[in-house]
Amino acid sequence: MIDYPLLQALAAVITEKGFEKASKKLFITQSAVSRRIRQLESTLGEPVLVRSQPPKLTLTGQRLLNHLQQVMQLEVALGMASIAEDSAYDKPLTVRLATNADSLATWLPEALAVPESAMAGKLKFELVVEDQSVTLNRMKAGEVMICISSHPEAVNGGSVDALGALPYKAVASPAFVERHGIDADLSDLPCLVFDENDTLQHEFLEDFNYGKPKYIHSCPSSEGFKQMIVAGLGYGLLPELQIGNSLENGELVDLKPNYVINSSLFWHYWHTESPQLKGLRTHALSVANKRLKQ
């Protein structure tokens, strides 16, 4: 039998990115966290963590956290609280969800706001925000229950539903266009990316036979991304949902009026989905059907 407090310690070390923060989350000492990890490894006869900074899971550690996520789902289905919440039955389940920032800035909040009458259990959300191209890694590592990703293939033990696509347009401020011209070689001009995993701008430039961008601002904030474009720091790809009426009121200029690049999104979840999380997924799919391009 697996000693679940040991798995709880393993999950905390990974999600908090270290033993010290894990101890604070679990309200135990750092040495106690270390003892639990050593006990787990002693029981299994192999390591579950790579002691790097931050710590990383071994393949065995990944399988254990995948198992933990699914057990948590089963507990919710039984009306019990998560073992990751100290096994106190009156506490809500923490639903860790990996998502891209643009979904969080547009359609996702509405999707998470399930009508109370439809949600029999108590859930609280803990969001991990990364580019949609890499969020699935969190699912593979067993760190999250739900993942919004651009990858359509389900992970082992998981299922996937298509959400639709976020349409993006290439935009810049009027001042930026006035300064550089609408027909300038965009690969030579400053552009914005969310982080090192964001390739939308590169795909856009390839579609028009431009070279790779030579001058890049990195901005890991969806709202900050838009505000930097409005301020004239560079051009970038923004979701149409986030652009809103900024083209009509002259705040932004569409650099390629007939061009849209669609970023497909998928809702990943575990096979052992509880009724409460199925209700969440059903509501999210309904919202996505209204807000995203189908």
Q: Kindly report, residue by residue over 177-198, the tens digit of the pLDDT.
A: 999 988 889 999 999 999 999 9
Highest mean pLDDT among 35-49, 131-145, 155-169: 155-169
- Total-model pTM: 0.77
Q: What is the pLDDT of residue 92?
A: 62
- pLDDT number for residue 21: 93
Cα separation, 137 vs 118, whole angstroms = 30
Lowest mean pLDDT among 2-16, 155-169, 204-218: 2-16
State residue 114's pLDDT score. Answer: 85
Q: What is the pLDDT of residues 87-111, one digit of tens each?
A: 433 456 678 899 999 999 999 999 9
pLDDT in tens, 271-282: 878 777 888 999
255 CA to centre of own chain: 28
pLDDT of residue 126: 87
Angle at which helices 30-44 and 19-26 pack, to 10 degrees? Answer: 100
3-state secondary structure the chain: CCCHHHHHHHHHHHHCCCHHHHHHHHCCCHHHHHHHHHHHHHHHCCCCEECCCCCEECHHHHHHHHHHHHHHHHHHHCCCCCHHHCCCCCCCEEEEEEECHHHHCCCHHHHHCCCHHHCCCCEEEEEEECCCCCCHHHHHCCCCCEEEECCCCCCCCEEEEEEEEEEEEEEECHHHHHHHCCCCCHHHCCEEECCCCCCHHHHHHHHCCCCCCCCEEECCCHHHHHHHHHCCCCEEEEEHHHHCCCCCCCCCEECCCCCCEEEEEEEEEECCCCHHHHHHHHHHHHHHHHHCEC
- The overall average pLDDT reported for the chain is 88
